[in-house]
Amino acid sequence: MVFGPIPNRDYHERFMRKAIEMAEFALASDETPVGCVFVHEGEVIGRGINGTNASLNGTRHAEFVALAEIIAHHPQSIIRETDLYVTVEPCIMCASALRQYGIRAVYFGCLNDRFGGCGGVMNIHADPGVDRSYPVYGGLFREEAIMLLRRFYVQENEKAPDPKPKKNRELKTEILPVTVTPVPVSQNATPIDTPPVGTPAAVATPVLGAQEVKIKK
Amino acid sequence: MAALRRDSKVIDDVVAKRHMVHLKTKEECRLGNETIQVWTVELPSKHAEGILRVIKDNIPGQDDIDLQHLRRFAKPKYLPGHVIGKRDLVKEMYAVPRAWESTPQSVMQAPATTSWEYSNPNRSRGNARPSTLHLLICPTKVVDLPRLHQVLSEHTPFCSSADSWAYPLEIKEITVPRLAPTSQTQAEEWSDDFWPTFYRKTNPFGAHPSSIRKAENELQEPENENIGVEAALALAERAGDDTVRRGVGAGPGCVIVERVEGRTEIIAVAGDARYKPQANAAANDQSDACCKGNMMGHAVMRAIGMVGRKRLRCASQIVTKAAAKAEGNFTKGGLEHDTNARDAFFSDLPITPLEKEYFERDNLKPDGYLCLRLEIYLTHEPCIMCSMALVHSRVGRVIFKQRMPKTGGLTSEMVRNDSGPVGLGYGLCWRKELNWQFMCWEYMTNEDEGTVSRQDLRKVSTEKYQQEEDEADSEDANVTSSSFARMHV
Ligand SMILES: [Zn+2]
Ligand SMILES: [Zn+2]
């Protein structure tokens, strides 16, 4: 559904590459490897990774961290002319926040089939609502986005005091392609409960967002 | 920008008594009124078990659809009249056109009396007529009528044998509730309308009724020093009023309570602060559509942020160190680190003396996880963002006072006549698709509840709500109320 063709793909890949770099940085810092950049007129104005471990706040997602950077320097209205590039589809919370802030468009890597608010689980970006809807484009560097998440879970399992059997820790490298079924985003086209079309059942995006904070006693 | 209208009945509030009404979950709204077609047949009581065995042996899949909430056998006197008077499908299947078929419907339908069996002279077979039961055979989609007729007509009492005449085989198609009722009242209504129905004191589509009752008792009749729902919501309103008075809020307020071993502690109090200025002058524009303010200033987001900050403060050294390390990584990565700007954006530090008073208490149990099982008291139904923030934070109980049908994320009603005004229908408090569910109540006046029946399969419409909403929409002169309806809380 959201993995339709993206016009001017090369241009957008350039920024998604920066989002991937943020996710790689998150992975190196033991944070969930989700990264994002906000781009205004070809310029990155905000970057983010999850901040939940530092804030003990389960809502401090990469998108919000990046928005904090933007609002430190710009008026909020700049978001209306800004696009978001994020390695994993925004969750329901972020999808709603982005719509309220008036984001222009969202580009993402892989679907978030646990909490996704832009097609993965719900369609917060396009459902009828009081705010302007926004278009979403998925699948940019999707494989990399998924691999980062897999690497994170292998890494986490190895750190766990009681490691799971080895087979669970193996890094799966095969990623199934998604079905490409472009559907235009419109204000009133998508009912809330439409199950995601083209969601690759075999590629389960791991839990994002409110991940467990491990407390060693 | 005017503050949110608190309630259309502000004055009544002084006297209007409120109480907690548990929200319908998405599934309850979607499935609660679903029905299914089933076959039934009447037969002498003494043959009931025998025929049930025949059905179990001859109709594969008769048990696949769970109808455990319905009696398998029902005495005629417990059946609704229209069920007894249903068309006899067997008769229709084999009938050739005859004069009596033009008999008006009303004559063919037996009256709902216990003596209905004798009302049709054709069926009377003298005084020795045995007592009968109606058997719920199976859903109509499991077996077709000719096949069912064949099976039954081959067995006693529907086949004639050496010592008796065949009992007339009358197969009827009736409508029954597809899913279990979620209350005793609902079970009674369904028994009156469809078929005798059990309430098993469980709810497959939401929180267990006993958990709901326990919570309602704890909150509505607080013990000892504990804070109850009335006081907690009053505090939330005060918090919301305080920030409005300071010119930074839109009205809503939020209170977060922890309950440890039966004792309550107020952890965080936050008023809406969406209009609070940012740290840097460049970030503050009064010009444009930003009258919506900063979404991070919603009371729920602020209160959740305050809980995180208190967790950091009350944490053991291990947790504090881990958090500091994560913070350090941030800086290392060259991520923006203007603390003032960040704090102004997230707005998760106290603004008013009231907020400060509760924020400064080190009363949070150390090393807990996010807002795990905390209680959230809200003046208004939160927006989708805030509702999902509550899911991410793993809260336990949420109570709000005023619905927000155009922007709220917690209620599930999407069509008229569900159980409340029509909203967006997200029902984020209890979605199976998500990995966390919590109990959620609307704190309603008795008057509201009387008008908008909360009973299931309701016949009362939501006209009152609709009317209020329409008024709010059409009153162009009254900017406050129309913008109120479209505001995100
Ligand atoms: Zn998010
Ligand atoms: Zn909100």
Q: pLDDT tens digits for B67-106?
A: 989 999 999 999 998 888 877 777 776 655 444 444 444 4
Q: Where are the alpha helices (DSSP H) in A109-189?
A: 142-159, 166-169
Residue B294, min C-alpha distance to chain A (Å) = 8
Tokens 């205004």 correspond to A40
Residue of B nearest to A99 (CA): B385
- Measured from the Cβ of residue B247, the count of other Cβ atoms closer than 10 Å reads 10
B384, B387, B395, B434: which to substitute to probe chain A, counting the most A Cβ within 10 Å? B384
A58, A94, A192 ranked by CB distance to B393: nearest: A58
Q: Mutate which of B318, B327, B345, B381 to test chain A, going by most A C-beta atoms within 10 A? A: B345
Q: Where are the beta strands (DSSP E) in chain A?
A: 35-40, 43-49, 82-88, 105-110, 136-138
- Using the mean position of ligand 1's atoms as its centre, give its distance from the Cα of residue B440 in Å: 22
Spatial strand order of the sheet with B171-177 comes to: B73-74, B132-139, B35-44, B171-177
- Cα distance between residue A113 and residue A88, in whole Å: 10
How many angstroms separate the CA atoms of B303 and A58, rounded?
12
ipTM of the complex: 0.81
Query: DSSP letter string over A101-128?
Result: HT-SEEEEEE--TTTBTBTTS-BTTTSS
The span from the CA of B181 to the CA of B33, in Å, is 9
Alpha carbon distances (Å) from B75 to A86, A129, B43, B288: 63, 51, 10, 70
Give the residue, B394 or B120, on which the prediction is more confident.
B394
d(CA B37, CA B100): 27
Q: How far is the CA of A13 from the centre of ligand 2 (A)?
A: 32
Contact call for B369 and A212, based on CB within 8 A: yes
Instruction: Note the pLDDT of residue A213.
Output: 31
Would you call A72 and B342 a contact, using CB atoms and an 8 Å cutoff? yes
For residue B450, pLDDT beyond 60: no
Q: Binning pLDDT at 50, 70 and 90, where does residue B484 land?
A: confident
Query: CA distances (Å), B233 to each of A63, B195, B476, in order?
Result: 31, 42, 31
CA of B321 to the centre of ligand 2 (A): 31
Whether the predicted pLDDT of B129 surpasses 50: yes
Whole-angstrom CA distances from B347 to B83, B240, B302 are 61, 14, 6
Decide if B95 contacts B170 (C-beta within 8 A).
no
Ligand nearest to the backbone CA of A90 = 1
Dihedral over alpha carbons A155, A161, A166, A172 (to 10 degrees): -20
Q: pLDDT, tens digit, for every residue of B184-212?
A: 888 999 999 999 999 888 887 899 989 99
Cα(B213) to ligand 2 centroid in Å equals 28
Least confident of A30-39, A152-161, B393-402: A152-161
Ligand nearest to the Cα of A59, by number = 1
The confidence score (pLDDT) of residue A165 equals 54
Mean pLDDT across B205-230 = 94
User: Which three-class secondary structure string do you get for chain B?
Assistant: CCCCCCCCCHHHHCCCCEEEEECCCHHHHHHCCCEEEEEEEEEEHHHHHHHHHHHHHHCCCCCCCCCCCECCEECHHHCCHHHHCCCCHHHHHHCCCCHHHHCCHHHHCCCCCCCHHHCCHHHCCCCCCCCEEEEEEEECCCCCHHHHHHHHHCCCCCCCECCECCCCCCEEEEEEECCCCCCHHHHHHHHHHCCCECCCCCCCCCCCHHHHHHHHHHHHCCCCCCCCHHHHHHHHHHHHHHHHHCCCCCCCEEEEEEEECCEEEEEEEEECCCCCCCCCHHHCCCCCCHHHCCHHHCHHHHHHHHHHHHHHHHCCHHHHHHHHHHHHHHHHCCCCCCHHHHHHHHCCCCCCHHHHHHHCCCCCCCCCCCCCCCEEEEEECCEHHHHHHHHHCCCCEEEEEECCCCCECCCCCCCCCCCCCCCCCCCCCCCCCCCCCCEEEEEEEHHHHHHCCCCCCCCCCCHHHHHHHHHHHHCCCCHHHHHHHCCCC
Chain A positions touching B299 (Cβ under 8 A) are: none
Q: How many other C-beta atoms can be found within 10 angstroms of the C-beta atom of residue A199?
A: 21
Give me the pLDDT at residue B361, please: 96
Q: Are B344 and B302 in contact (CB under 8 A)?
A: no
Average pLDDT, stretch A123-137? 96
When pLDDT is averaged across residues B480-485 and rounded to a whole number, the result is: 68
pLDDT > 70 fraction of chain B, expressed in percent and rounded: 78
Instruction: Measure Cα distances from A14 to A6, A43, A62, B315 in Å.
Output: 13, 11, 19, 41
Closest Cβ opposite residue A97 in set B287, B290, B385: B385
B285 → closest Cβ in A58, A76, A130? A76
Asked if A53's CB is within 8 angstroms of B323's CB, the reply is yes
Partner-chain contact B433 A97, CB within 8 Å: no
User: pLDDT class for A129, splitting at 50, 70, 90?
Assistant: very high
Note whether A30 contacts B278, CB cutoff 8 Å: no
Cα separation, A24 vs A35, in Å, equals: 8
Distance B20 CA to ligand 2 centre (A): 22
Instruction: Decide if B326 and A215 are in contact by the 8 Å CB cutoff.
Output: no
CA distance A206 to chain B (A): 12
pLDDT at B130 over 80: no
Residue B476 has what pLDDT? 42
Where residue B179 falls among pLDDT bands split at 50, 70, 90? confident
Residue in B295, B342, B428 nearest the CB of A97? B295
Hey, are the CB atoms on B318 and A215 less than 8 Å from each other?
Answer: yes
**Whether pLDDT at A36 is above 90:** yes
Task: Choose between B200 and A106: higher pLDDT.
Answer: A106
Interface test with B, best of A49, A59, A80 (most B CBs within 10 A): A59
Q: What average pLDDT does chain B have?
A: 83
Q: Which amino acid is at B424?
A: L
Residues 6+ apart with CB under 8 A from B471: B481
State both tokens at B67: 């109808």
CA distance A156 to chain B (A): 15
Higher-pLDDT residue of B467 and B281 is: B281
A155: left (phi over 0), alpha (psi -120 to 50) or beta: alpha
CB contact under 8 A, B335 and A69: yes
State the sign of the Cα–Cα–Cα–Cα dihedral B488, A212, B333, A105.
negative
The whole-number pLDDT of residue A43 equals 98
Which residues in chain B have their CB less than 8 angstroms from residue A210's CB? 370, 391-394, 436
Q: Distance from the CA of A67 to the center of ligand 2, in angstroms? A: 16
Tell me the two tokens of residue B271. 């008023």
User: What mean pLDDT do residues B382-399 have?
Assistant: 98
Active-site amino acid positions of A: 63
- Interface-testing mutation among B329, B411, B437, with chain A (most A C-beta atoms within 10 A): B329
Q: In chain A, which residues have their Cβ closer than 8 Å to the Cβ of B279?
A: 72
Higher pLDDT, B13 or B222: B222
Most B CBs within 10 Å, among A57, A78, A79, A121, to test the B interface: A57
Angle between helices B384-392 and A92-101 (to 10 degrees): 150
Q: Where on the phi/psi map is residue B457: left (φ > 0), alpha (ψ -120 to 50), or beta?
A: left
Average pLDDT over residues A30-54: 95
- Strands A82-88, B439-445: pairing kind: unpaired
Q: Which ligand is nearest to the CA of B386?
A: 2
Which residues from chain A sit within 8 angstroms of residue B315, using beta carbons? 56
Task: Tell me the mean pLDDT in the region A26-37.
Answer: 93
Residue B28 tokens, joined: 């309850």
Q: How far is the CA of B333 from the centre of ligand 1 (A)?
A: 21
List beta partners, residue B136.
B40
- For residues B86 and B173, is the Cβ–Cβ distance under 8 A? yes
User: Sorting pLDDT into bands at 50, 70 and 90, what band is B139?
Assistant: very high
Tokens 């920024």 belong to which residue?
A: A15
Contacts of B404 in chain A (CB under 8 A): none
d(CA B308, CA B335): 21
| B433:A121 CB<8 A | yes
Segment holding A73, helix H or strand E: helix A62-73
Which amino acid, one-letter code, is at B48? A
B291 phi and psi angles, rounded to 5 deg: -65, -15
Higher per-residue confidence, B128 vs B400:
B400
Residues of chain A contacting residue B295, judged by C-beta atoms under 8 Å apart: 97, 100-101
Q: Tell me whether residues B333 and A25 touch, CB distance under 8 A.
A: yes
The residue to which tokens 């940085």 are assigned: A25
The Cα B231–Cα B211 span in angstroms is: 22
- A-B CB pairs within 8 A amount to 183
B284 vs A contacts (CB less than 8 Å) = 75
Residue B16: per-residue pLDDT: 75
pLDDT at B388: 98
Note whether B319 contacts A115, CB cutoff 8 Å: no
Collect all residues of chain A within an 8 Å Cβ-Cβ radius of residue B294: 71, 76
pLDDT greater at residue B467 or residue B276: B276
- Is the CB of residue B485 less than 8 Å from the CB of residue B472? yes
Quick one: what percent of chain B has pLDDT higher than 90? 56
Contacts of B487 (CB under 8 A, 6+ apart): B4, B250, B404, B407
Strand partners, B263: B260
| Amino acid making up residue B183 | S
Interface contact B346-A64, CB threshold 8 A: yes
Mean pLDDT of B228-233: 97
Indicate the average pLDDT of chain A.
Answer: 81
Closest C-alpha to B39, from B148, B114, B112:
B148
Distance CA A142, CA A138 (A): 8
C-alpha distance from residue B85 to each of A180, B78, B178 (Å) = 54, 13, 21
What SS3 class is residue A157?
helix
The Cα of B258 is separated from the nearest Cα of chain A by a number of Å equal to 16
Q: Chain B contacts of A51, Cβ < 8 Å?
A: 326, 330
Are A68 and B393 an interchain contact pair (Cβ–Cβ within 8 Å)? no
